[in-house]
Structure 1
Amino acid sequence: MTSNTVSATPGASESDAAPGRAGLRGHPWLTLLAVALGVVMVTLDGTIVAIANPAIQQDLGASLAGVQWITNGYLLALAVALITAGKLGDRFGHRQTFLTGIVGFAVTSGAIGLSESVTTVIAFRVLQGLFGALLMPAALGLLRATFPAEKLNMAIGIWGAVIGASTAAGPIVGGLLVEHVNWESVFFVNVPVGLLAVLLCLAILVDHRAENAPRSFDIPGVVLLSGAMFFLVWAVIKAPEWGWGDNATVWSLVIAALTLLAFLAWETVSGEPLLPLRLFRSVPLSAGTVLMVLMAFGFMGGLFFVTFYLQNVHGMSPVDSGLHMLPLTAMMIVASPVAGGLITKVGPRLPMVGAMLVTAVAMFGLSTLERGTGTLEMSLWFGLLGLGLAPVMVGATEVIVGNAPLEHAGVAGGLQQAAMQVGGSLGTAVLGAVMASRVHETLPVKWAEAQLPLLPPQDAERLGKAAELGIAPPAPGGTPAQAAEAMARVVHDSFLSGMGLAFTLAGIVAVLAAGVALFTKGGQHGTAPSVHV
């Protein structure tokens, strides 16, 4: 590859920033198109696979634990590797890192589709998560380096809209593929998308590197941070099964904390630290990271229950439930670019404070959902949630990446994505535990109030587990229709009681996040990069 270096000044126009460019190569908006196509694979895959899991379980004869690890293995690998992947982009170039991620993600997707055992599926899903981790920080690093300061927020807004659309489209696309083709097609679809993304990236992307980009790699830091993230996410994933007070959960969290302390101590003496701690001297960057954790905690943790509500309480198919959540998707698609433009004009602080308050209102509204809630009311709360989330997705990303020096743009992108993964995992686990506790507390009371026959302990325990998911098991043969209807009503009401409490707590977290947003401000964007073509 030939190389020429062009110095750019902050806030320069496209033509000023790269006077030697010609044609498609290095064009900011085409760069956005190329990275968005690659990122679509990762975000779509995060939700599309959940629809395929029942078919995979049936076809491969997998256990429930095996099916769970198809998702958990992917999320664990993604969370553990994100910050390290960002550092790889800073060290070796975001273009190369992004292309490696696309190729690896597409190849492992094809390998999953060809797998004949659940063990092989899980192994390739872990590899898929590692390659996926390369894509997200590199995408943000490319956008940060390519766009002039006055257009960066708009670019991040469009990027956020693509992520929101592909995430929400997952259940719909997955349902159609599984229903009309097979579960393998859910993974095979990434192969042509990946090929197209590779061709676009080869034609368009330019390798941006700051003059003072890192020249060495902090291997001890990688080991320590990866270990800390692994034990933290492992504990969060397994806590619902083990119990939060179980020794295994407690020790996993203790090991995570000790390993994190060791990592922080090492980073203070490392000559080229993996995660330079001086980044957190920036109050806006630190606030943006905390804000991303809190936003993901409430959003992902709360929405975890919505699919169970739509499918098990309302009896919708996976495709229908996905269609009912389109107001959320549509509002995020529309509001993200608008939020980017607004944040460019007035800064991120006020839009994000207002957006988190809107999110809180939506969460409190979702806490009122009942068995008979209609589509119009659901659409109102879903749409309001999308309206609130969009400015936070855009603003927090800009705050974290924009307040980091350009040579650490990849690490900042990894930090943003890791904060979202950790927040989402914590939200799902913590709110799930709160909900389960409320269901098991409410179910016996409502069962007695309905004057239903007392169940043996084992049957009561099975009923409680089903109620956590809003599933009303079939009534025993010979049960009068009125009694069977009462049983289903009790189960659904107990589920709704737990879901209502979970969304209420998510709303409170959103209010706290609005307070954190007060400490944010827009990034300075530093000096633009040198460009290696």
Structure 2
Amino acid sequence: MATPLTTGRPANPRAALYALCAGFFMICLDATVVNVAAPDIRARLGASLNEAVWVNSSYALCYAVPLILSGRLGDLYGPRRIFLTGLAGFTAASAACALAPGPPELIIARALQGLAAALIAPQTMSMIVHLFPVQHRSTALGVWAAVGGAAMAAGPVIGGLLITWSGWRGIFLVNIPVGILGWAAAVQLLPRWRPARPHRLDLWGIALSSLGLTALIFGLVSGEAYNWGTVAGIVTIPSLLAFGFLSLAAFIWWQYRNSREPLLPLQLFRHRDFSAVSIAGGAVGAAMGGFFLPLMLYLQSDLGHSPLEAGAATVPMFVLSSLCARRAGRWSDTRSPRTVAASGFALLIAGTATLDWLLHPGITLGALMPSLLLVGAGIGLASAPLGPVRPIM
């Protein structure tokens, strides 16, 4: 039975915000901290390059696929309940990651981490919208966004330090006390609230989107490992990709036909700004997701830097990204957000292109820094203008 509806706010919304941010910090931190650990995981567990990639990809896949569903679960059962469930699951999965005896077990534990993170993220946004009135909501969301940026910036350095002191298992062990404290704080500070409007689950939409995304992402990530051929029996990478595309096409058709409560209302995409922001936000996410793991592998495996040195090399980039995002948010209030975002994409493309041209054995971190700063500035300028019109996750 769903949590009874309550409309009151807690006595201290700011304290509740900090409790939400503790959980959000953990899931953002784990999006970058593991990149630094990939070479150490390969060396200590004897993992192949494909297995090291899947340590990250399993987290990203299991985070992305159920994200819309977890938002609907918050509507049904209350954001507080789903947030607490996700935080407990994330903490337990972190312990499983730290204790994993081999690559397969670590990949499975990372997948469980991703599922738990997907439960956490949408609830933080919906709770903030409930906790703060309109005149204070932008400030609260700014704190929330800053916490995410700080976690992304701190991840490589924290990862480097923990790996230097205790090996790759330390990056997961640190989540356990943070998760326990965050869960205890959330129990005390978050209100028992859920939206008044009743909702239902779109089971066909859930099944089709999950199958399609899983098949498509698995095919793209593991295609090279299987030489773009047979996976097992009659299952091949091309057939998986085709199945993924067909499932997503069926999902879109079902969302169009479902007149009750589709998982993804297609009428949203009739608004040009929403469609443009969705595509641009996806592009930024794809660029960030495909950038950091190869960079960390290259800095450590090819250039011979320690995990701490490799992580520290990205700090100026993240700091500049945060500063540019803050400035871009202000510029977007007085100038065209399209112009600001387009400038960010131009810098992101320039930084990535020059990195591709510069990377070769023997290059110094100093020579790479201008390109990394371009990437950081581009991410900040491109991301911030998308926030005000981006749908709540």
**TM bracket (short chain):** 0.7 to 0.9
Report if aligned partners of 2:156, 2:314 keep a CA contact under 8 Å in 1: no
Report if aligned partners of 2:164, 2:308 keep a CA contact under 8 Å in 1: no
Cα displacement (A) at 1:211: 3.6
Match of 2:179 among 194, 197, 202: 194
Change (3 A) 1:125 1:304: closer
User: Aligned residue for 2:340?
Assistant: 351
Report if aligned partners of 1:162, 1:333 keep a CA contact under 8 Å in 2: no
User: Aligned residue for 1:389?
Assistant: 379
Structure scoring higher RCO (CA < 8 A, sep ≥ 6) equals 1
Report if aligned partners of 1:150, 1:344 keep a CA contact under 8 Å in 2: no
Give, in whole Å, the separation in 2 of the partners of 1:145 and 1:347. Answer: 29
Give, in whole Å, the separation in 2 of the partners of 1:219 and 1:282. Answer: 26
Give, in whole Å, the separation in 1 of the partners of 2:351 and 2:36. Answer: 26
Change (3 A) 1:306 1:108: closer
Match of 2:352 among 363, 382, 401: 363
Match of 2:201 among 193, 199, 217: 217
Asked whether 1:277 is paired with 2:261, we answer no
* Superposed counterparts of 1:168-247, under 5 Å: 168-207=153-192, 209-212=194-197, 214-243=198-227
State TM-score, norm by structure 1: 0.65
Tell me, what secondary structure is at the counterpart of 2:290? helix
Comparing 88-97 with 140-149, greater Cα deviation is found at 140-149
Tell me, what secondary structure is at the counterpart of 1:275? coil
* Superposed counterparts of 1:8-47, under 5 Å: 21-22=10-11, 24=12, 27=13, 29-47=14-32
User: Aligned residue for 1:512?
Assistant: none
Asked whether 1:265 is paired with 2:267, we answer no
Cα displacement (A) at 1:363: 3.1
Task: Give aligned pairs, total.
Answer: 385
Give, in whole Å, the separation in 1 of the partners of 2:51 and 2:297. Answer: 20
Report if aligned partners of 1:156, 1:340 keep a CA contact under 8 Å in 2: no
Give, in whole Å, the separation in 2 of the partners of 1:266 and 1:360. Answer: 36
Asked whether 1:328 is paired with 2:317, we answer yes
For residues 278-306 of structure 1, the C-alpha deviation after alignment (integer angstroms, 9 at most, x for no partner) is 22222211111100122233343344443
For residues 179-234 of structure 1, the C-alpha deviation after alignment (integer angstroms, 9 at most, x for no partner) is 2124332211111111222233233333554443x422111211111111111111
Report if aligned partners of 1:177, 1:185 keep a CA contact under 8 Å in 2: yes
Structure 1 runs of 4+ off > 6 angstroms?
none
Q: Which amino acid aligns with 2:384?
A: V
Comparing 42-51 with 248-257, greater Cα deviation is found at 42-51
Q: Which amino acid aligns with 2:382?
A: V
Give, in whole Å, the separation in 1 of the partners of 2:129 and 2:388. Answer: 9
Give, in whole Å, the separation in 2 of the partners of 1:291 and 1:171. Answer: 25
Give, in whole Å, the separation in 1 of the partners of 2:140 and 2:334. Answer: 14
Tell me, what secondary structure is at the counterpart of 2:159? helix
Asked whether 1:160 is paired with 2:162, we answer no
Q: Which amino acid aligns with 1:230?
A: T
Report if aligned partners of 1:153, 1:341 keep a CA contact under 8 Å in 2: no
Q: Which amino acid aligns with 2:326?
A: P
Cα displacement (A) at 1:83: 1.8
Comparing 181-190 with 50-59, greater Cα deviation is found at 50-59
Report if aligned partners of 1:154, 1:340 keep a CA contact under 8 Å in 2: no
Q: Which amino acid aligns with 1:5?
A: T
Asked whether 1:399 is paired with 2:389, we answer yes
* Superposed counterparts of 1:345-494, under 5 Å: 345-346=334-335, 348-369=337-358, 375-401=365-391, 409=392, 413=393
Give, in whole Å, the separation in 1 of the partners of 2:221 and 2:52. Answer: 14
For residues 490-519 of structure 1, the C-alpha deviation after alignment (integer angstroms, 9 at most, x for no partner) is xxxxxxxxxxxxxxxxxxxxxxxxxxxxxx
Q: Which runs of 5 or more structure 2 residues have no equivalent in the other structure? A: none
Report if aligned partners of 2:300, 2:307 keep a CA contact under 8 Å in 1: yes
Question: How high is the sequence identity, in percent, across the aligned residues?
Answer: 31
Q: Which amino acid aligns with 1:292?
A: G
Q: Which runs of 5 or more structure 1 residues have no equivalent in the other structure? A: 7-17, 402-408, 414-533
Tell me, what secondary structure is at the counterpart of 1:273? coil
Report if aligned partners of 2:5, 2:195 keep a CA contact under 8 Å in 1: no
Give, in whole Å, the separation in 2 of the partners of 1:63 and 1:338. Answer: 42
Report if aligned partners of 2:340, 2:381 keep a CA contact under 8 Å in 1: yes
State TM-score, norm by structure 2: 0.85
Change (3 A) 1:307 1:70: closer
User: Aligned residue for 1:315?
Assistant: 304
User: Aligned residue for 1:141?
Assistant: 126
Cα displacement (A) at 1:160: 3.2
Change (3 A) 1:181 1:68: same
* Superposed counterparts of 1:113-152, under 5 Å: 113-149=98-134, 151-152=136-137
Change (3 A) 1:136 1:391: farther
